[in-house]
Amino acid sequence: MEHANPLLAEWTLPFGLPPFSEIKPKHFPEAFRAAMAVQTAEYNAIADNADPPTFENTIVALERTGRLWSKVAGVFYNLLGSCTNELLEALALEFAPEFAKHHSELRLNPQLFERIDVLQGQADRLDITSEQRRLLARYHLNYVRSGAKLDPAGKQRFSEIEQRLATLHTVFGQNVLHDEDSWHLPLSQDDTAGLPSFLLDAAASTARALKIDAPYAITLSRSSVEPFLTFSSRRDLRQQAYEAFTTRGEHPGPHDNRSLISEILSLRRELGRLMGYETYADFSIDDTMARTVEAADAQLKPIWAGARHKAEAERALLEQAQRDEGANTTLEAWDWRYYAEKVRKAAFDLDEAEIKPYFVLENVAQAAFDTASRLFGLSFKPRPDLPSYHSDVHVFEVTEGDGQPVGLFMQDNFARPGKRSGAWASGLEGYQAFDGKVVRPIILNNNNFVKSDPTLLSFDDARTLFHEFGHALHALLNRSRYPTLSSVRGDYVEFPSQVYEHWIAAPETLRHYAVHHETGQAIPEALLQRLTTAATWNEGFHTAEAASAALLDLELHTHPEPESLDIAAYEQEFLARIGMPREIALRHRPAHFQHLFTGGYEAGYYYYLWSAVLDADAFAAFREAGDIFDPALAARLKDMYELGDTKDPMDLFIGFRGREPDPAALLRQRGFETT
């Protein structure tokens, strides 16, 4: 008999796609509790098995568990990020500690860990493949890092910390979303000085969507506020927008995240020490390519030094442009993008308003698909017959070779109320093929472009689309037989996304896909050359934003007394100590730094720059070959996407490049000094 709760019924749509139209918030509590009960029973059956542990009855059995949980949680967390409402947010807050407790109990089951521990001790004598041996080692390490070797009191405290952190992470993210959804800047016709037509069109579309009594509006979506800061000649309005954007999460009242930060950091420090490490950062980074805080810091320091030096040179040019304009003011943070655009236009005869008409969203998306086709042999067929959770979402069936199925790809490109800011990749299903049946992935990309007709992207927006699509390709191409081995080390996870960005910046791509939205003409060669020449302009600013945030992350997660931390004062002291130019802010200030404080990239924001070294050096190989679609290199790159965590990531890179990565490749790419 068909189950009344669609989350608990069998899904019959192609690829196991959820019946989104039937799923309501009221269905989740029952489904969550059923999924947790099933998963607990599955784990207990393995732990209580009277037979001696074998790879099949323990590790493979564990890989079979949690299917219902993954199914329900995948839908819930996608909706929570992409299409949330008060009911979903309330459920997230209510269940966060319960979920944390549930997963802690699974990982802290002593009988289950004993079976895994016995197998790990026998690993060299077991008749298993190298992939299976790596899977066993990963299970053992995951359990150890989840507290399996702690005494009973330690296990209890570990679980309590995880439960409290789950609640704090949820509240932190909801507070940021509240500030983003509750602010907009209405603009009258008199407020639009300097704004190009593409930005006016987008701002008009935003005002209509918000149903406000103004012809135009700007929101705190990065793709809305940053173009406004770039073009608006109304300095007073630039300041308003900038301050609203950079103070998300730090307004006094019930949505102030500053009071949460010390508690989050203190709990993480306690967790790290409970696990035998001096700091949380030491604990976190021990299971990465970098392995130590010192190695991550050593990679960041020359990048930061090069970025700061270049940013200081950029600042001098901006101040000169300000003087040339006759402005009797000091350069401030809300002026940087405005004058950077003026300098770019003067120095390179190039401005964003000239470029943007050539970057139509649909063309950029097609460029991403076609690049994947040329590199990896993939095809993307629109499936408008398949359901999605919102009308903005486009669904594609992905195949390779002569039509062999790969999976489903869902692309959700537009900003809207109830959707968190930023851009990200997620999944409803992952690849697996260990149990006599191949399960195909269902992968999602979320962007936050401002919808208009047509939707025109900045060059940074286009790179963002390619970045997230690189994550999607990593998941779609994954061929790890076992689900656990599809999760790669944290400072490697950004490599497949960041290396893919290079193809949208390549002249070979732009000549074909950068087509004017009105005339249909390809981007003129002279404009393309100016765009290429200007590629490293303002790179000091952008890298300084990111590198300083990564350095702050490491400092916060090695701080000896976070419980007494005044985060505002500490931020200012930190920026002064590293010599941050006054006119540049952290890319993510602490009170809205969701990478750190909603979980996932804590002590790991350096991942982006660590991976940037890998991607710069990897793409250099294509340039050295003289063909950005070189078949041999593309095949080796596809291996890196397909192999997941079945091999050590450094071994994967060496297999591609023939040597370890060269950090100077990134400095050269961004126009920094390499001495």
Query: What residues are labeled active site?
Result: 468
Determine the Cα–Cα distance for residues 476 and 502; give it in Å rounded to an integer: 19
Torsion of CA 262, 264, 269, 272, to 10 degrees: -170
The sign one gets for the Cα dihedral 316, 318, 324, 329 is negative
DSSP letter, residue 53: P
Residue 488 to residue 471: CA distance in whole angstroms: 12
What's the CA gap between 503 and 637, in Å, rounded? 13
E strands in 28-121: none
- Which helix (H) or strand (E) segment is 446 a member of? strand 442-449
Cα separations (Å) of 385 from 13, 18, 71, 406, 427? 11, 13, 21, 18, 20
Of 338, 307, 339, the residue nearest 320 (C-alpha): 339
Which of 413, 378, 410 shows the shortest CA–CA distance to 395? 410
Residues in the chain: 675
Whole-angstrom Cα distance, residue 301 to residue 483? Answer: 36
- Radius of gyration of the chain measured on its C-alpha atoms: 25
Assess contact for 652 and 646: CB atoms under 8 A.
no
To the nearest 10 degrees (0 to 180), the angle between helices 495-505 and 631-642 is 150
Cβ neighbours of residue 328 under 8 Å, at least 6 residues apart? none
Q: Which residue has the tokens 């930005």?
A: 199
CA distances from 113 to 46, 130, 146, 487, 653 (A): 10, 21, 11, 21, 33
Distance CA 537, CA 541 (A): 9
Q: How far apart (Å, rounded) are the C-alpha atoms in residues 459 and 465?
A: 10
Tokens of 422: 């930023």
- 569 Cβ neighbours under 8 A, 6+ residues apart: none
The amino acid at residue 592 is: H
Residue 514 φ/ψ, nearest 5 degrees = -85, 90
Query: Alpha-carbon distance 493 to 498, whole Å?
Result: 9
Give the chain's count of helices (H) and strands (E): 27, 7
- In 3D space, the residue among 668, 667, 650 whose CA is nearest the CA of residue 659 turns out to be 650
Going 319 to 321 to 327 to 331, the CA torsion angle's sign is: negative
CA 160 to chain centre: 28
The answer to whether the bond into 454 is cis (omega within 30° of 0) is: yes
Q: Name residue, tokens 């009221």.
A: 26
Q: In angstroms, rounded to a whole number, what is the distance separating the alpha carbons of residues 353 and 213?
A: 27
